[in-house]
A and B are shown apart, each in its own frame.
Chain A
């Protein structure tokens, strides 16, 4: 168990293509990104693990009027996804640009995109639903 978690660890994991998470050995809570201290029970005994790359859409929006740094990308979808272990994550939902193609509950896999010099997690639907 590493005592100190840094953002660098998480970012390096993203670059290597996985999501670094932590699990509290005392209360069993799971955290993404990993934490040095459990926010539920304050324990410092946490174990790190690689999160699954599968989940389901818990909420979504299709952005038609984007913030300036996303201009030209519209319309694009963003989602909150619940991973198989139960923790949630936000990100772009790639390959979808209309509300007809998306619904809560659809299965997605986690992927990674380069934005500038950063690697960010994103999602891709396992199969595209057609209206």
Chain B
């Protein structure tokens, strides 16, 4: 990990270095959405949307109440958890919008996976790794997979579809039954969250 502090990983905007920032890249993703009885004609193992939420906040960062929270994430998460009748403790795997290293930390706290201020520590301890107790971004997330802005959210839906059907190969989270995806626009001025189940 020495290279992370070396000139090979130059500072972009202190304290963020090159590998703290996602690459804006090309990419495409697609989903087929259908009513339950229609979906059954295509597959025996559809994935169900159990809950969803969407919320917005002021565009200007300096007008936000708290600079260490994305309020739209908290509001959207509350809606999604309520609709699904589930809580953060029920989520087996999640794809969160890690456009920057700190964005994942803030997201995992705002989604209720870890207490405020402990998201970074949880990642350091490996709790968010593939074999941790709260696996985050098994597909590598925006930072490792790339961020083809418009396709990113749909790619998250694709990843959860694979995870919940047990088809994620070497990045499979064991016994994943409930998955959450979290997508952010305009530095948190808008957030969309969906919870999927088998």
Residues of A within 8 A of B (CB): 58-59, 61-65, 75, 80, 88-90, 99
Contacts and interface: CB of A to CB of B under 8 A. Distances in A.
Nearest to A63: B13
Contact of A80 (B10, B15, B67): B67
B170 interface: no
A67 B151 CA distance: 24
B190 to A, nearest CB: 17
A58 B13 contact: no
Given A80-B61, A89-B62, A90-B62, A59 B67 contact: yes
Interface of B: 10-16, 60-63, 67
Nearest to A59: B67
A61 B61 CA distance: 13
Given A63-B14, A88-B63, 5 more contacts: A58-B62, A58-B67, A61-B14, A61-B16, A75-B14
B10 A90 contact: no
22 contacts: A58-B62, A58-B67, A59-B61, A61-B14, A61-B15, A61-B16, A62-B13, A62-B14, A63-B14, A64-B10, A64-B12, A64-B13, A65-B12, A75-B14, A80-B62, A80-B67, A88-B62, A88-B63, A89-B62, A90-B60, A90-B61, A99-B14
Question: Sorted from nearest, which 5 A-B pairs have the closest CB atoms?
Answer: A88-B62, A62-B14, A80-B62, A61-B13, A64-B11
Contacts of A90: 60-62
Nearest to B67: A59
Nearest to B16: A61
